[in-house]
Amino acid sequence: MGRDNLRPLSLKEYIGQKEIKKSLQVYLSAALTREEALDHVLLTGYPGLGKTTLAHIIAHELGSKIHITSGAALERPGDLAAILTSLEERDVLFIDEIHRLPAPVEEILYPAMEDFLLDLVVGKGPGARILRLTLPKFTLVGATTRSGLISAPLRDRFGISFKLEFYTEDELKDIVQRTASILEIPIDEEGARVIARSSRGTPRVANRLLRRVRDFAEVQGYKIINAKVATYALELMAIDTLGLGPFDRNLLRTIMEKFDGGPVGLETLATALCEDPRTLEDVYEPYLIRCGLLRRTKRGRMLTKRAYQYLGLKRSL
């Protein structure tokens, strides 16, 4: 039987982000030895790099319970107060997309983070009173795609801050092999490497591609995913060796053909592509920038010389 949950539970099982692992190990050991709650942790990184996985690992390594919510789900101060009052000593509260917290909610988070205090307004009008509750010492793990999106007062209240980076090809190859072994998918090292190379530096993409390649291999009757099978499956999905798919190529081609190679503003580009500007910014652009195909300038997005070379080579796809 394959294990359904692919998330590594311990730091030891977690592949990549070496520097973060090294520091986190120290902070976790220190907190555990002192029998204290770990300081609040801010995780920054593009989607799919493992922020949620790390939050789970932090809770697991501390032997604590994790409570999961997201900035968009906490619409009113009462929503956050309900969660805060349900916490137990040394629990982990994970707030994904913490940059989306509404300001009034963010404000009650400040004393909760700093002094473990919650001020509740009871009643309305002149008779309203403030009821001050003491909260158990908990650890807030906040996640955001870019640290610049959160306010300085919030950012300053995190004692620990990590920025997750894109993964190397070797790390992604190891992740593909690990996932394949949990899901009992036969794959050799070169097959895993081909998938890793097309995974945009992102474990989430690597695991998704692995499942699609497995579908292909099963339907075609291949017993094992080797380099040839993986390459063929990725070609069918129109994913190239850089990991770029049809949408990426359409994005680059749109800048070239409709905007003379740029600069073009994000909103205009998003309209031309019928895509949400935030998705463009957080999901598609970072990897294109990392590949040296796109530049963000003050006047807008621009293609690089390399992008023209790439499009020239890929025009047939």
- C-alpha 157/C-alpha 7 separation (Å) is 28
- Residue 297 β-bridge partners: 300
Identify the residue among 178, 208, 212, 249 touching ligand ADE (CB under 6 A). Answer: 178
Identify the residue among 175, 180, 187, 303 touching ligand ADE (CB under 6 A). Answer: 175
Q: How far is the CB of 191 from ligand ADE (least distance, A)?
A: 17
53 sits near ligand ADE (criterion: CB under 6 A)? yes
- C-alpha 293/C-alpha 304 separation (Å) is 5
Please state the length of the chain: 317
Q: How far is the CB of 291 from ligand ADE (least distance, A)?
A: 21
14 sits near ligand ADE (criterion: CB under 6 A)? yes
CA dihedral sign of residues 288, 285, 165, 68:
negative
6 sits near ligand ADE (criterion: CB under 6 A)? yes
Q: How far is the CB of 161 from ligand ADE (least distance, A)?
A: 19
Identify the residue among 50, 77, 142, 245 touching ligand ADE (CB under 6 A). Answer: 50
When the beta carbons of 16 and 77 are compared against ligand ADE, the nearer one is 16
Per-position DSSP letters for 175-244, written without gaps between them? HHHHHHHHTT--B-HHHHHHHHHTSTT-HHHHHHHHHHHHHHHHHHT-SSB-HHHHHHHHHHTT--TT--
Active site residues: 51-52, 96, 145, 204
153-156 contact pairs (CB < 8 A, 24+): 153/110, 154/98, 154/101, 154/106, 154/109, 154/110, 155/42
When the beta carbons of 44 and 304 are compared against ligand ADE, the nearer one is 44
214-222 contact pairs (CB < 8 A, 24+): 214/183, 214/185
201 sits near ligand ADE (criterion: CB under 6 A)? no
When the beta carbons of 80 and 141 are compared against ligand ADE, the nearer one is 141
- C-alpha 298/C-alpha 279 separation (Å) is 19
55 sits near ligand ADE (criterion: CB under 6 A)? no
Q: How far is the CB of 301 from ligand ADE (least distance, A)?
A: 29
24 sits near ligand ADE (criterion: CB under 6 A)? no
Can you read off the two tokens belonging to residue 182?
């949990």
Can you read off the two tokens belonging to residue 152?
């300085």
- C-alpha 119/C-alpha 32 separation (Å) is 29
Q: Under DSSP, is residue 49 helix (H, G, I), strand (E, B) or coil?
A: coil
When the beta carbons of 57 and 74 are compared against ligand ADE, the nearer one is 57
Q: How far is the CB of 53 from ligand ADE (least distance, A)?
A: 6
Q: How far is the CB of 51 from ligand ADE (least distance, A)?
A: 11
Identify the residue among 11, 16, 185, 285 touching ligand ADE (CB under 6 A). Answer: 16
CB 124 within 8 A of CB 80: no
Query: Binders of ligand ADE: how many residues, by CB under 6 A?
Result: 10
When the beta carbons of 191 and 203 are compared against ligand ADE, the nearer one is 203
Q: Applying CB under 6 A, which residues contact ligand ADE?
A: 6, 8, 14-16, 50, 53, 175, 178, 203
